[in-house]
Structure 1
Amino acid sequence: MKISTKGRYGLTIMIHLAKQHGKGPTSLKQIAKENKLSEHYLEQLASPLRNAGLIKSIRGAYGGYMLAKDPVEIKAGDIIRVLEGPITPVEGIEDEEPAKQALWLRIRDAVKNVLDTTTLKDLAEHNNDQPQDAYMFYI
């Protein structure tokens, strides 16, 4: 399973909003600027996140976006599913032989487990100074 820029940038938006949780709305312009991303692209991602009830928009001069729930209630899997669709490593696994089908299901379940046990709070509080484990880059 490969996560596209939709999923990656969607997580960027959500992590930024989690870090600002309780401090009021944040504009997509600010998020785009701080992360060197296209504001227009982030606007396209905000709509499905809002429709899914993960973020809410605040209108006005001091408006922007904020989380619709506490960061501990939002899982990475919620965000990825909204932007990427169902979590599946292989399409049409029902047509695979049983041994391969079992492998694909184990991979799917492992990925789901990581995504569904990692909260937005976990991601927002992650210390960027800590060295990353090599396995994280090869999932």
Structure 2
Amino acid sequence: MPKMLWLSRITIYGIAAVLDVALQGGERWVRKVEITERQRVPVRYLEEVLQSLVRAGILDGKRGRYGGYRLGREQRCITLGEIVRVVWALEVELDPFNPDTASPLAREVVWPALMAQLDSLTIGDLCKRVRSKSPDQTARESAAV
């Protein structure tokens, strides 16, 4: 269990990056600089997150001039819960957490309930929400996901 039950800034960056790739990429490779510019995410945060998402199979990564990132699986097969677990695992590597110090209610009730909700939402669901907005709203939201 991660040390916080809310979503950290780095976790939000990870979700935003995957959603950005889903909305912008399709079969096209989306460059890291495009993601950082659209989502206003500092490169120093995004690099390790993207690499962790590639290792987990959520994203595919390609190096080089024509490289970038694209989804590793279909949008409907990538849950927010999976992204959260991958990013929180990275955060735990950087700042180890002792689960024995967590609140028993948080560990046994709140955390499972939160993850069940996140596991029920897919990147495909979020893409549908963004695309169902008016063109002006969609442009604003995809630029600020």
Fold agreement, TM-score > 0.5? yes
Per the normalisation by structure 2, the TM-score is 0.72
* Distance of 1:123 and 1:102 partners within structure 2: 30
Q: Distance between the aligned counterparts of 2:44 and 2:118, measured in 1?
A: 27
Q: Tell me how far apart the structure 1 counterparts of residues 105 and 48 of structure 2 sit (CA, whole Å).
A: 36
Percent identity of equivalent pairs: 26
State the aligned residue count: 120
State the distance in 1 between where 2:79 and 2:38 align.
23
Q: Deviations over 1:113-139 (max 9, x none)?
A: 11110001112222465xxxxxxxxxx
1:4 paired to 2:8: yes
- Of 78, 83, 107, which aligns to 1:79? 83
Q: Which amino acid aligns with 2:55?
A: N
Please state if 1:126 is matched with 2:129: yes
Once the two structures are superposed, residues 64-96 of structure 1 have per-residue CA deviations (whole angstroms, 9 ceiling, x without a partner) of 1001000100000100000113xxxx93389x7
Work out whether 1:41 is the aligned partner of 2:45: yes
CA shift in 2, pair 1:58/1:2, >3 Å:
same
Normalising by structure 1, report the TM-score: 0.75
- Among 107, 112, 116, which residue is 1:113 paired with? 116
**Partners in 2 of 1:28 and 1:108 — Cα distance?**
31
SS of alignment partner, residue 127 of structure 2 = helix
Give the superposed CA RMSD.
2.4
Structure with greater contact order relative to length (CA < 8 Å, sep ≥ 6): 2
The structure number with the bigger radius of gyration is 1
Which runs of no fewer than 5 residues in structure 1 stay unpaired? 130-139
